[in-house]
Amino acid sequence: MYRFIRFSTLLVGLFIAIQGYAAEAPLTTADDLGPAVEQPIEFPHNRHAGKHDPSDPSKGGMEIDCQYCHTYARRSSIAGIPPLQKCVGCHNNIESVKDKPRIKKLFEAWEAKKPIQWKKVHDLPDFVRFNHERHIKRFVEQQGHTSQEACGYCHGDVKNMTVARRQKSLSMGWCASCHEKAHTVAASGVDVGKQAYWYTFQKPATTAKVPEDIKAKGPNDCWQCHK
Amino acid sequence: MSVTNLLENWSQFRHFHPVDDKPHDPYKWAMSIDLDACTGCNACSVACYAENNIPVVGKERFSHGQQMHWIRIERYWDEDQNAVGGRDFPDQGAQFLPMMCQQCEAAPCETVCPVAATNHTSDGLNSQVYNRCIGSRYCSANCPFKVRYFNWYDYPSDDAWPAEMSQQLNPDVTVRGKGVMEKCTFCIQRVNEAKVKAKSEGRLVRDGEIQTACQQVCPTSAISFGNLVDTESRVHKQWEAQKVELDKDKQEKDEQEGGSKLRGYRILEELRPYPSVMYLERVRESAV
């Protein structure tokens, strides 16, 4: 009898622990840190996108919007890599750093008409259908988050990195941990058209008095992401 | 899915498709196929091979029943068969029926999958997730239409697409490996593309915006595909005109005395899988 109670206590304890763990989100641990990727040019993300330092402008970042260079993210499913032309377009006019080794390398490639072979850092498996455009449309254009915040949901704190490194696991459970949460669907009372956010079995309660109270979960059909 | 979620939304998980389900909103993908228009040319099948990276298995494996065609043309010979000295394949009397996954609302394959690799989407499609499939082939056994196909071999490394041929594979569709089940997806890659586009433009998918590969190539436009919820869609109008309702296992029109003159019917409706494909009966006597 005593043994039986002990065993069932263990079971109940396990159940509660597992449930608590499952409700915890998002799933991000230190193990999620991806491998360091060696790029042909050690691109300083912090210098471009980092916070501006008014006391010493030569040290801080430039606070450039992510989408200035990663311009395809809002237009297509694939974010793409900015062409060399984009780099040169600015750097042609920045005399102060032209003698730096990294910039020299950049112009060497430009003169040779050879693209820089950037390595992929965030590489999803081939069977995943991920769409950058939808996420940017939703978080940046409709809900007014900054690019740095919205992109950071998945790409981590890139503005403080030099060479970008994967910070989130990008596993299915990690994606689902966000898609399972109830998000506000109509941002700040703005009607987002006839857009159906409830591609799930859980439709939002439309009885809400304030538009902000209408909440729905992200798409959770298998075929939404699995090819 | 946490346990709390399961308990809170129990009534939603525990529902019977599609009878006491919430109506599909905003999409329910469905098809209608006009058998009178079908000439059995097999273009749909070829298009499907090209679109969905289906391996060509060859004569020998085909004869072993290891074919992979997601859409097949079934042939029926209705004359000369019982006549004395009748031939198996007479000059006259061939009827054709394109058969693909019927995307059943209460799909028999879904309930038997031991790992839930096949399940229902809210658009009313029967999804198949290759990563999850362990190859028990139970779904195929339970499918009344026999439209599920199993990868008996590792076709990518088995030279199903020799040399340059592999360059023509569709990047939007997974190349399936050995040991997983596959079937018609209603060209889900095209559906999703249109859905994303529509959503970004703040509207619903318009009728005709999505064409499945088989529909696109059909020379007689026998196949139409669309959103059954949209009352303006071609498919909806066809289903309505034929008085075929999705959530019935026996259509009212067939209950009438002397049967119905309408041509629309669904295959094996009485088994209650609630298929999403309606066929229009042949009026001509034969295709050939």
Residue by residue, DSSP assigns A122-143 as S---TTB---HHHHHIIIIIIT
**Beta pairing class for B223-227 and B29-34:** antiparallel
| B67-121 pLDDT, tens digit each | 999 999 998 876 665 566 666 667 777 889 999 999 998 899 998 999 989 988 8
What pLDDT score was predicted for residue A190? 39
Residue in A with minimal Cα distance to B172: A227
| A94-104 pLDDT, tens digit each | 998 999 999 99
CA angle, A224 then B1 then B3, to 5°: 160
Q: Which residues in chain B are contacts of A221 at CB distance < 8 A?
A: 121-123, 127
Residue B218 neighbours by CB under 8 Å, 6+ apart: B43, B44
pLDDT of A196 higher than 50: no
Q: What are residue B282's phi and psi, to 5 degrees?
A: -75, 135
Report the DSSP beta bridge partners of residue B94: B77
pLDDT of B18 higher than 90: no
Are B196 and A131 a contacting pair at CB < 8 A? Answer: yes
What pLDDT score was predicted for residue B132? 93
Look at A1 and B258; give whichever has higher pLDDT. B258
At residue B2, the 3 state secondary structure works out as coil
By a Cβ cutoff of 8 Å, what residues of chain B touch chain A?
1-5, 9, 12-13, 22, 25-27, 119, 121-123, 125, 127, 129-132, 172-174, 185, 188-189, 192, 196, 199-200, 202-204
What pLDDT score was predicted for residue A35? 83
* Residue from A130, A139, A192, A226 to probe the interface with B (highest B Cβ count within 10 Å): A226
CA distances from A42 to A15, A48, A81 (A): 48, 13, 15
Give the whole-angstrom CA distance, residue B102 versus residue B126: 9
Select from A129, A137, A223 the Cβ nearest to the Cβ of B200.
A137
| A11-29 pLDDT, tens digit each | 676 666 655 555 554 555 5
Give the whole-angstrom CA distance, residue A37 versus residue B27: 43
**Beta pairing class for A182-184 and B181-182:** unpaired
Q: How distant is the Cα of B256 from the closest Cα of chain A, in angstroms?
A: 36
Are A223 and B121 a contacting pair at CB < 8 A? Answer: yes
Average pLDDT over residues A160-180: 87
Q: Which residues in chain B are contacts of A77 at CB distance < 8 A?
A: 196
Give the whole-angstrom CA distance, residue B15 versus residue B120: 12
What pLDDT score was predicted for residue A195? 45
Average pLDDT, chain A: 79
* pLDDT > 70: percent of chain B: 89
What pLDDT score was predicted for residue A28? 54
Element (H, E) at B63: helix B59-63
Q: Label residue A163 by pLDDT band (50, 70, 90).
A: confident
Are B131 and A180 a contacting pair at CB < 8 A? Answer: no
Look at A227 and B45; give whichever has higher pLDDT. B45
Q: Which residues in chain A are contacts of B22 at CB distance < 8 A?
A: 203
* Residue from A137, A220, A222 to probe the interface with B (highest B Cβ count within 10 Å): A222
Average pLDDT over residues B210-237: 95
Q: Which residues in chain A are contacts of B121 at CB distance < 8 A?
A: 199, 221-224
Q: Which residues in chain B are contacts of A224 at CB distance < 8 A?
A: 121, 192
Q: Which residues in chain B are contacts of A126 at CB distance < 8 A?
A: 174
Give the whole-angstrom CA distance, residue A212 versus residue A57: 40
Q: How distant is the Cα of B119 from the closest Cα of chain A, in angstroms?
A: 8
pLDDT of B124 higher than 80: yes
Q: Label residue B261 by pLDDT band (50, 70, 90).
A: confident
Residues B174, B178, B180, B182, CA torsion sign: positive
Give the whole-angstrom CA distance, residue B288 versus residue B285: 9
Residue in B with minimal Cα distance to A219: B122
What pLDDT score was predicted for residue A213? 64
Average pLDDT over residues A133-157: 88
What pLDDT score was predicted for residue A16? 64
Average pLDDT, chain B: 88
Q: Which residues in chain A are contacts of B126 at CB distance < 8 A?
A: none
What pLDDT score was predicted for residue A2? 65
Q: Label residue A200 by pLDDT band (50, 70, 90).
A: very low
CA distances from B8 to A39, A47, A76, A132, B5 (A): 48, 48, 37, 32, 5
Give the whole-angstrom CA distance, residue A34 versus residue A65: 24
Q: Label residue A184 by pLDDT band (50, 70, 90).
A: low
Chains A, B: CB contacts under 8 A, how many?
83
By a Cβ cutoff of 8 Å, what residues of chain A touch chain B?
15, 18-19, 22-23, 77, 126-127, 129, 131, 133-134, 137, 180, 192-196, 198-203, 221-224, 226-227
What pLDDT score was predicted for residue A161? 87
What pLDDT score was predicted for residue B285? 72
pLDDT of A132 higher than 90: yes
Does this complex have an ipTM over 0.90?
A: no
pLDDT of A198 higher than 50: no
pLDDT of A68 higher than 90: yes
Are B189 and A202 a contacting pair at CB < 8 A? Answer: no
Q: Which residues in chain A are contacts of B190 at CB distance < 8 A?
A: none
Q: Label residue B255 by pLDDT band (50, 70, 90).
A: confident
Q: At the topology level of CATH, where does B22-280 sit?
A: Alpha-Beta Plaits (3.30.70)
| B265-275 pLDDT, tens digit each | 999 999 989 99
Q: In chain B, what are the domain boundaries? A: 22-280
Burial string for B158-180 (b: 16+ CB within 10 Å, else e) reads eebbeeeeeeeeeebbbbbeebb
Give the whole-angstrom CA distance, residue B103 versus residue B31: 10
